[in-house]
Every structure is written in C-alpha cells, then in structure tokens.
Amino acid sequence: MKAVLPGATIGILGSGQLGRMFAISARRLGYRVHTLSPDTDTPAGQISDCEITAGYHDLDAVRDFARRVDVVTFEFENVPAATAAEVERFAPVRPAGNVLHVAQHRVREKTFLRDAGFPVAPFRVVRNHAELQQAVAAIGCPAVLKTAGFGYDGHGQAMIRHPEDADSAYRKIGSCEAVLEGFIDFACEVSVVAARGADGSFAHYGVVENRHRHHILDSTIAPAPHAPEAVEIARAIMEKLEVAGVLAVEFFVRRDGGLIVNELAPRPHNSGHFTIDACVTSQFEQQLRAVCGLPLGSTEQVRPAAMVNLLGDLWNGSAPDWAAACALPGVKLHLYGKSEPRPGRKMGHITALGPDPQTALDRALQARDALTAR
C-alpha cells in the first residue's frame, strides 16, 4: 500500500469528539481534514479545513466528499454500511467496510466472536415476542436485552431480572431486533486499545480498567493490573478482522479472573483518551498512522494516568469552574466545543498524571469535583 503522506487530505465520517481529537492529531502532522455529518459547527468540524453538512444517506454529498479526499476513516461505527461502500468507490476506507459491518450490529458482532472462538456472554437473537420467551428460557435471569443496531453508552439496553419483566423490557428498547445476553457478575471491566497497520504490524496500550456510571464510562485507570491475556485476545480479533486502524475491545473480568469480550469499537475509544497526555503516541495519532500507511508509533506510557469524563450534568445552570480544575497539579482539561450541555452528553474529559494509577485517579476526581465546588 502506498502511504498517504502529510499534505494529503483525510476524510472523516462523523463529527463528534473522537473526530475532533483525530483531526487535531492529523492537523498537527500537516494533513488536511474534511468531515461529513448531518450537523454543523461540530466538535470535529470546528477543527477541520472543510465541514460538510449532509446526511449519511445523501449519496450525492457522500460521493462529492469522497472525491476530494485521499483516505477516509470514521469516528463512530453507526455510519450506514451503504455510505461506507459508496465512499470506497472513490477513496480507501480504513478500517474497511467489513469491520464496520461486523462491529455496528450486535448480532453480527457476537456471532463473529463466538464462531471465531472468542469468549462472549451466552446470547440469543430476539426478533419478536416468541423468540424473546425462548431466549429468556434458554439464558435465564438476570439477563440484559440490547438492541442489535445503533446502541451506544447503554442506550437501547434493558435489564430483565425476572421472566415476567421480559415483555416490558422489549417494549422499552423499541421491540426491534435485539440480543438477549446473560448477565455477567463481573469483578471489573477492562479494555484494550490497539492498532494494526495495513502491513499487519501491531501495537497496543496495555490493559486499562474502566468504571461506568449509568452505563456510561465514568473513569479509566491506566495501567491496570488485571488480565494481561486481554491483549492477546485483542490482537487475535484484529488479525481475524484484518483491521487497518485502531480498535478497542471491552471486556468483563469475571470473579475467577476469566475474560468475556463485551464489545468491539473499530476506532479510537473513550478508554484510550489518556494516551493523549500519557503516551508517546496518542490513540488518535496511531489511528492516523494506521489509516495513512505510516509506521505505527511507540505506545509507551510515560506516566501512570487516569481519565474522568465530563458530562453535561456538570453544568447545572452555569458553566463549571474550569480555572479550579486547571489549578491542580498534573491535570489536563479537554473540552469538545459542544455548546449544549445536555445530561449524559460527553462534553469533555480530564486526564490526570501521577506517580501511580490510584494517585492519578484521585487527582482526576478531585479536579472534577473542583468544577462544581463553587
């Protein structure tokens, strides 16, 4: 593959914070960036040379976008597969559309993982009430019902604690195609963010621990002492999918130490944001290198780190006290340029560095508390 070199134009499908941090990396290396999404004044568009506002199904606009860029990547996996296929007629898409196809649909994702021998929670596909009853009988309770497509941050999920809850849970998620999976009584959640070059080279950021609140990632601690074998599973998944780019694998660590793969994200991931401030090469620069066919960069983590997300809930009528957080040692503030702080919306994050992961986490949490202490 011929490398796409600085000066070339990268296209991004999607325009959220992942696209923004990717675009910042790309521009730092001298690339031009075009984004396409249905919105204007977006986190990624604000950083781009050209922000195209068009729906993903507007194939005329998609073609126009694809003709003017040298390579295309995406920053969230819910880009319609047909859009990726149309782009591929004009410019390479990395990771390729097949990776998107698997990762954007829970039935395909779980089936791929199970059939390839990776450890996943027991699951059944649910397309109607009859299948739901059969699935509940087979999996047992508690179980988690998840929509097959377009879920994120716990949206499109419902817990089924007793068989009689099943029908209301199914209505809650919209009675659409879904997966019922066994509830995993995990000790903790971890993830591995890794990159694979088009030449098969591999790099990873080790195992990090993730804590969630209301199904949304709340904090990441890096490095984490758990489950080093998670890296080998991530590597094997990327080989099997022939990924060119960054991919994150989220895991549950069972109480006996065994691993269950929960989800794949074929792009930089919230649990890899610490790499911007703590690693030689951030996950975003790594994605850029991988999609452009440049050598992967060093993933060495220079200092222990922790990341906490800043959700719209922090606003509560007035802007958080940014200066108070910035006053603390080892604290780095990242904001995504979003004007509307809705509850549950990811508005930014804080990374704190420290002599050890726990101190870093304490600092990050202290910084977040300082935002609303006034």
Which parts of this chain interact with ligand AMP (CB under 6 A)? 121, 144, 146, 151, 154, 181, 183-184, 189, 212, 215, 250, 262-263
Give the orientation angle of helix 81-88 with respect to helix 59-67, to 10 degrees.
40
Q: Which among 102, 113, 105, 43 is positioned nearest to 75, based on CA atoms?
A: 43
Which residue bears the tokens 């794949």? Answer: 264
Closer to ligand AMP at the Cβ: 77 or 181?
181
- Backbone dihedral angles phi then psi of residue 139, each to the nearest 5 degrees: -85, -35
**DSSP 8-state class, residue 214:** T
What is the C-alpha end-to-end distance of the chain, expressed in Å?
Answer: 55
Task: Judge contact between 75 and 16, C-beta under 8 A.
Answer: yes
Q: How far apart are CA 284 and CA 157, in angstroms?
A: 29
Instruction: Quote the least distance from Cβ 12 to ligand AMP, whole Å.
Output: 23
Instruction: Quote the least distance from Cβ 112 to ligand AMP, whole Å.
Output: 15
Instruction: Quote the least distance from Cβ 32 to ligand AMP, whole Å.
Output: 34
Instruction: Quote the least distance from Cβ 174 to ligand AMP, whole Å.
Output: 15
**Strands 50-53 and 32-37, bridge-based pairing:** parallel
Closer to ligand AMP at the Cβ: 32 or 146?
146
Closer to ligand AMP at the Cβ: 226 or 289?
226
Instruction: Quote the least distance from Cβ 212 to ligand AMP, whole Å.
Output: 4
- Within a 10 A sphere around the Cβ of 329, how many other Cβ atoms? 9
Closer to ligand AMP at the Cβ: 171 or 212?
212
Closer to ligand AMP at the Cβ: 50 or 187?
187
**Strands 157-160 and 259-265, bridge-based pairing:** unpaired
Q: How far apart are CA 77 and CA 147, in angstroms?
A: 15
Instruction: Quote the least distance from Cβ 155 to ligand AMP, whole Å.
Output: 8
Long-range (24+ apart) CB contacts under 8 A made by 54-63 are 56/13, 56/80, 56/83, 57/82, 57/83, 59/83, 59/86, 61/36, 62/36, 62/86, 62/87, 63/89, 63/90
**DSSP 8-state class, residue 93:** B
* Residue least distant from ligand AMP (Cβ): 184
Instruction: Quote the least distance from Cβ 361 to ligand AMP, whole Å.
Output: 18
Instruction: Quote the least distance from Cβ 216 to ligand AMP, whole Å.
Output: 8
Closer to ligand AMP at the Cβ: 51 or 189?
189
Closer to ligand AMP at the Cβ: 31 or 251?
251
C-alpha distances in Å from residue 352, one per residue of 69, 93, 196, 310, 334: 36, 34, 27, 13, 11
Closer to ligand AMP at the Cβ: 165 or 277?
165
Closer to ligand AMP at the Cβ: 171 or 214?
214
Closer to ligand AMP at the Cβ: 69 or 259?
259
Instruction: Quote the least distance from Cβ 263 to ligand AMP, whole Å.
Output: 5
Q: What DSSP letter does each residue of 103-127 carry, written as one string? A: HTBHHHHHHHHHHTT--B--EEEES
Instruction: Quote the least distance from Cβ 133 to ligand AMP, whole Å.
Output: 19
- Backbone dihedral angles phi then psi of residue 290, each to the nearest 5 degrees: -65, -45
